[in-house]
Chains A and B, each alone.
Chain A
Amino acid sequence: MKKNNLKFWFFLAPALLCFLVVVIIPIIVGFFYSLTDWNGLNVNCGFVGLKNFIDIFTRDSGFLNSLKFTIGVSFFSVILTNAIGLVLAILVTKKFKGSKFLKSIFFMPNLIGGLLLGFAWKFIFTEIFSSISKLTGLTFLNEWLGTTETGFFGLIIVNVWQLSGYMMIIYVAQLQQIPYSAKESAKIDGAGKVQTFLKITFPLLMPAFTIGVFLSIANSFKMFDQNISLTNGVPYHSTQMLALNIYNTAFTNNEFGLAQAKSIIFLIIIASIGLTQLLITKKKEVEM
């Protein structure tokens, strides 16, 4: 037993050690710094109690605006990426010529980093959209990314374009694990195509929903690269998501203490949304 214990910790140690040093300890240290007026330049900083936390909800309206904006973008992104991901998955699991090729095309946007994607789409939204608008007279294509609304939709479009292929792969994996016999027996029992999908395939897909929704929530909430390259908060910080807001609080305003307090709230929000979702969808999973 003792030898087993030693083995256990020996195999776990390298990963756990890095994880502790890089993730856990900084979070704990960060908690203390969130109670100070740390400006990032000198190490000495004064204790201010809960002032930073109170400021976030009373003086600094930027954070709350970013929170609202982030929730909005994430809400639509999560629904759309998973819905489109599922449609793509159903499409590519039908055996037809080129389905494999399509699978790799749909996944491809994931390879391009958020930063490059943001810049690429900025080009499309500003240059291409406005030239199409000039050609066709569609005024809603004009001045994209110049307003809060277009920035909002822009971020959602980019996020969905990137993540739906990722979700597709997750749903493909689960679809392939559904035994053919389950669908076949439903057919024999007289179930139509739609009914089979709703009553058999859909419930059996639940584990994939759990993972898909979980990963898309995590990805959308934490979105930073796409945000800084696509809108960078323009106009007037109104399209600034939480991650970018924290980044700017620290590196533009040099308010490290305040930024740390924000990041703790950020962490709590993400963790509680993610965990609630896990609990809800896990309950709905059926054993195969």
Chain B
Amino acid sequence: MKNLNHKKKFKINKLFLTFFGFILAAIYLLPIYILLINSFKTQKGFFENILSIPNKETFTVENYKNAFLKLNFLRSFLNSFAITIISVFFILLFSTMAAWILVRTKTKTSKVIFCLLSISILIPFQSTMLPLLMVFKKIKLLNPIGLIIIYIGFGVSFSIFILHGFIKNIPKELEEAAAIDGCGFFQLFFRIIIPLLKTALIFVSVLNVIWIWNDFLLPSVVLTDQKWKTLPLMTYNFFGEYSKNWDLATAALFICITPIIIFYSWAQKYIVSGMTKWSIK
């Protein structure tokens, strides 16, 4: 009888947790929901009632069509896409190499370099921005290539910091065994280490993609040519122009959010599993 009571209590607890959890989730999603319903309303419907879902008279997809054109979506999407992919690729390659050698080399130099890199996460972009702009202007790098170089320089420290935690968990014996079998140093790195780090690498790339894809400040000061404008830059300009046209603006917000939501639905399992395998130490 006691056991039954216990079970019942347990069930009620779970029910309560589920209920509480979904209330919280609703609060988290509410802002997005409100934006979504308004993005499908005509301006008249918007002024009539901002909180209701669009009805037959007020429903429209015109906002999306307009916002799509005004954002020059295809072009700015491709700009963002190319810049993000290339930057993340090099960040991953360089920081995996560095993190691995930093874990495997147990010298003072190695320790100091790792500490310096970790601390540099605190460095705000503002403190390097102006001199960097001046130098890059002189060597004609105020373009996507310069931007990618800056992303690599800023991205490696955080990525090395995270990857360091993963690589520490790879047993050294595995590498030693491979070395005994005649596996060369580079082979070891590309054939053994990289495959073992699959989850970690996806995890780190997700974090970098989120950051670079959404970044506004850096491209706003580095990309001077109109044709290279990324999606966040176009959004900013758009809001400068249409700040009172919320019907159009909400649609534009959704157009910008959608690619990253699609990406997330693929990547989400790696975020949690990556974080779980990462040793915080």
Residue positions of A touching B, CB distance < 8 A: 4, 7-8, 11-12, 14-16, 18-23, 25-27, 29-30, 33, 40, 43, 88, 91-92, 94, 96-99, 101-116, 119-121, 123-124, 127-128, 131-132, 135, 161, 165, 169-170, 172-174, 176-177, 207-208, 210-211, 215, 218, 221-222, 224-225, 228-229, 242-243, 246-247, 250-251, 256, 259-260, 263-264, 266-267, 270-271, 274-275
Contacts and interface: CB of A to CB of B under 8 A. Distances in A.
B278 interface: yes
B235 A92 contact: no
A21 B153 contact: yes
A272 to B, nearest CB: 10
Q: Is the interface of A mostly helix, strand, loop or mixed?
A: helix
A172 B135 contact: no
A123 B131 contact: no
B112 interface: no
Given A103-B272, A111-B210, A116-B256, 14 more contacts: A12-B101, A14-B94, A22-B128, A40-B130, A91-B21, A105-B28, A123-B35, A161-B31, A172-B275, A211-B280, A225-B215, A246-B126, A267-B123, A274-B119
Contacts of A25: 131
B17 A94 contact: yes
Contact of B24 (A14, A91, A132): A91
Contact of B253 (A116, A127, A263): A116
A243 B124 contact: yes
Given A96-B18, A115-B235, A21 B123 contact: no
Contacts of B22: 98, 102
Contacts, number: 251
Contact of B157 (A19, A27, A43, A221): A19
B194 interface: no
B170 interface: no
Q: Is the interface of B mostly helix, strand, loop or mixed?
A: helix
Nearest to B206: A111
A7 B253 CA distance: 48
A113 B31 contact: no
Contact of A174 (B93, B261, B280): B280
Given A259-B130, A263-B124, A124 B25 contact: no
B98 to A, nearest CB: 4
A18 B214 contact: no
Nearest to A95: B14
B21 A18 contact: no
Interchain residue pairs A-B with the least CB separation, the first 4: A113-B214, A22-B153, A11-B101, A26-B128
Nearest to A250: B130
B160 to A, nearest CB: 7
A176 B268 CA distance: 18
B78 interface: no
B81 interface: no
B217 interface: yes
Nearest to A278: B119
B202 interface: no
B120 A114 contact: no
Given A22-B132, A23-B120, A115 B232 contact: yes
Interface string B91-135: 001110110111001010110010001011111111111111011
8 contacts: A14-B98, A40-B130, A96-B18, A119-B239, A123-B246, A127-B50, A170-B275, A247-B126
A27 B128 contact: yes
B34 interface: yes
B85 interface: no
A260 B131 contact: yes
Q: Which interface residue of A7, A19, A131, A274 has the most chain B CB atoms within 10 A?
A: A19
Interface string B31-53: 11011001000000000001100
B105 A102 contact: no
B124 A222 contact: yes
B120 A7 contact: no
A174 B276 CA distance: 7
B126 A263 contact: yes
A266 B17 contact: no
Contact of B124 (A18, A91, A165, A270): A270
Contacts of A98: 18, 21-22
B172 interface: no
Contacts of A224: 126, 216-217
A270 B122 contact: yes
Contact of A207 (B131, B235, B261, B281): B281
Nearest to B250: A123
Contacts of A102: 21-22, 24-25
Nearest to B98: A15
